[in-house]
Chain A
Amino acid sequence: MAMEVTQVLLHAQSIDGAVRKNAEDSLKQFQEQNLPVFLVSLSGELANEEKPVETRKLAGLVLKNALDAKEQHRKFELVQRWLSLDGNAKSQIKACLLTTLTSPVSDARSTASQVIAKVAGIELPHKQWPELIGSLLSNVHQLPAQAKQATLETLGYLCEEVSPDVIDQDQVNKILTAVVQGMSSSEGNTDVRLAATRALYNALGFAQANFSNDMERDYIMRVVCEATLSPEVRIRQAAFECLVSISSTYYEKLAPYIQDIFNITAKAVREDEEPVALQAIEFWSSICDEEIDILEEYGGDFTGDSDIPCFYFIKQALPALVPMLLETLLKQEEDQDQDEGAWNIAMAGGTCLGLVARTVGDDIVPLVVPFIEENISKPDWRQREAATYAFGSILEGPSPEKLIPLVNVALTFMLSALTKDPNSHVKDTTAWTLGRIFEFLHGSVVDSPIISQANCQQIITVLLQSMKDTPNVAEKACGALYFLAQGYEEMGPSSPLTPFFQEIVQSLLTVTHREDAGESRLRTAAYETLNEVVRCSTDETAPLVLQLVPVIMMELHNTLEGQKLSSDEREKQSELQGLLCGCLQVIIQKLGASEPTKYVFMQYADQIMGLFLRVFACRSATVHEEAMLAIGALAYATGADFAKYMPEFYRYLEMGLQNFEEYQVCAVTVGVVGDISRALEEKIVPYCDGIMTQLLKNLSSNQLHRSVKPPIFSCFGDIALAVGEYFEKYLLWAMSALQSAAELSTHIAGDDELVEYTNSLRNGILEAYSGIFQGFKNSPKTQLLIPYAPHILQFLDGIYMEKDMDDVVMKTAIGVLGDLADTLGSHAGSMIQQSVSSKDFLNECLSSEDLMIKESAEWAKLAISRAISV
Chain B
Amino acid sequence: MAPHDIRRPFKRAAISDQQKRRELSLLRQAQNRRDAQQQARCLASSILSLQSAAPESQPEQSDIELETVPEAEQESEAFSKDLDVRQASKLRGPEVRKWFARQLMLPEWMIDVPDRLAQDWYVFARPAGKRCFVVSSNGTTVSRQRNGSILHHFPSALPAGAKIRDGSGSAQSYCILDCIFHELDQTYYVIDMVCWNGYSLYDCTAEFRFYWLNSKLEESGACNAPSHYHKFRFSAVPVYNCDQSGLHAAYTGVVPYAKDGLLFYNKHALYQTGNTPLALVWKDENCSQFVIDTDGKGEIPSQQQVVLELQDDRKLVTSDDPPVLFGCLDGDIIEKSGLHTGNLLRFAIGDGGLSFVDGKLEKADLIYLGKSNRARAFADSYSKGFQLKSL
Contact = CB atoms under 8 A, between A and B. Distances in A.
Interface in A75-130: none
B17 A582 contact: yes
A201 B150 CA distance: 68
Contact-residue size bin, chain A (C-beta under 8 Å from the other chain): 35 or more
Contacts of A199: 1
A646 to B, nearest CB: 18
A370 interface: no
Contacts of B28: 589, 633, 636
A859 B26 contact: no
A289 to B, nearest CB: 10
Given A531-B21, A594-B140, A633-B25, A822 B41 contact: yes
A432 B41 CA distance: 50
Interface string B359-383: 0000000000000000000000000
B33 interface: yes
A574 interface: no
Interface string B1-34: 1011011101101000110011011101100110
B229 A493 contact: yes
B286 interface: no
Interface in A341-377: 342-343, 347-348, 350-351
Given A771-B37, A859-B45, A863-B45, A629 B165 contact: no
Given A493-B163, A861-B76, A244 B21 contact: no
B37 A770 contact: yes
B3 A595 contact: no
Contacts of A582: 17-18, 21
Interface in B159-173: 162-165, 172
A60 interface: no
Interface in B128-157: 140, 150, 153, 155
Contact of B22 (A342, A664, A859): A664
Contacts of B41: 774, 815, 818-819, 822, 859, 863
Contacts of A490: 165
A33 to B, nearest CB: 35
B183 to A, nearest CB: 20
Nearest to A539: B163
A767 interface: yes
Given A479-B13, A528-B17, A714 B79 contact: no
B44 interface: yes
B1 A279 contact: no
Interface string A764-799: 000100110011010000000000000000000000
A858 interface: yes
Contacts of A595: 150, 153
B67 to A, nearest CB: 20
Nearest to A110: B1
Given A589-B28, A721-B37, A863-B44, A351 B21 contact: no
A698 interface: no
Given A157-B1, A675-B29, A279 B10 contact: no
Contact of A493 (B26, B40, B44, B164): B164
A677 to B, nearest CB: 9
A767 B38 CA distance: 12
B10 A351 contact: yes
B118 interface: no
Given A491-B165, A863-B48, A153 B1 contact: yes
Name A's interface SS. helix
Contacts of A855: 83
Nearest to B229: A493
Contact of B44 (A626, A718, A777): A777
Nearest to B171: A851
A524 B164 CA distance: 33
Interface in B38-52: 40-41, 44-45, 48-49
B25 A626 contact: no
A156 interface: yes
B341 interface: no
A183 interface: no
Nearest to B40: A774
Query: Which of B7, B21, B25, B49 has the most chain A CB atoms closer than 10 A to its own CB?
Result: B21
B255 interface: no
Query: Which of B4, B24, B48 has the most chain A CB atoms closer than 10 A to its own CB?
Result: B4
Interface string B155-198: 10000001111000000100000000000000000000000000
Contacts of B7: 343
B165 A671 contact: no
A829 interface: no
Contact of B32 (A285, A432, A678, A771): A678
Given A594-B140, A629-B25, A636 B32 contact: yes
A822 B36 contact: no
A18 B225 CA distance: 85
B80 interface: yes
Nearest to A238: B3
A279 B48 contact: no
A862 interface: yes
B37 A815 contact: yes
Contact of A492 (B18, B37, B150, B164): B164
A629 B13 contact: no
Interface in B308-347: none
Contacts of B33: 674, 678, 714, 717-718, 767
A343 B13 contact: no
Nearest to A852: B34
Given A492-B164, A528-B17, A531-B17, A589 B10 contact: no
Nearest to B12: A479
A774 B40 CA distance: 6
A752 to B, nearest CB: 20
Query: Which of B1, B36, B48, B162 has the most chain A CB atoms closer than 10 A to its own CB?
Result: B1
B162 A493 contact: yes
B4 A241 contact: yes
A822 B40 CA distance: 10
Given A493-B164, A582-B18, A586-B21, A285 B45 contact: no
A157 B8 CA distance: 25
Contact of A241 (B3, B25, B153): B3
A275 B3 contact: yes
Nearest to A429: B11
A476 interface: yes
A347 B9 CA distance: 10
Nearest to A767: B33
Contacts of B155: 493, 539
A193 to B, nearest CB: 14
A156 B4 CA distance: 14
Contacts of B11: 428-429, 432, 476
Contacts of B10: 342-343, 347, 350-351
A629 B22 contact: yes
Interface in A168-215: 195, 198-199, 201-202
- Ordered nearest first, which 3 A-B pairs have the shortest CB separation? A492-B165, A774-B40, A528-B17
Interface of B: 1, 3-4, 6-8, 10-11, 13, 17-18, 21-22, 24-26, 28-29, 32-33, 36-37, 40-41, 44-45, 48-49, 76, 79-80, 83, 140, 150, 153, 155, 162-165, 172, 228-229
Given A538-B163, A819-B41, A851-B172, 10 more contacts: A199-B1, A234-B3, A492-B163, A528-B17, A629-B22, A718-B33, A718-B36, A774-B40, A862-B49, A862-B76
12 contacts: A238-B3, A343-B7, A490-B165, A539-B163, A589-B28, A595-B150, A632-B25, A664-B22, A671-B25, A671-B26, A721-B37, A863-B45
Interface of A: 153, 156-157, 195, 198-199, 201-202, 234, 237-238, 241, 244, 275, 278-279, 282, 285, 342-343, 347-348, 350-351, 428-429, 432, 476, 479, 482, 490-493, 524, 527-528, 531-532, 538-539, 578, 582, 585-586, 589, 594-596, 626, 629, 632-633, 636, 664, 668, 671, 674-675, 678, 714, 717-718, 721, 767, 770-771, 774-775, 777, 815, 818-819, 822, 851, 855, 858-859, 861-863, 866
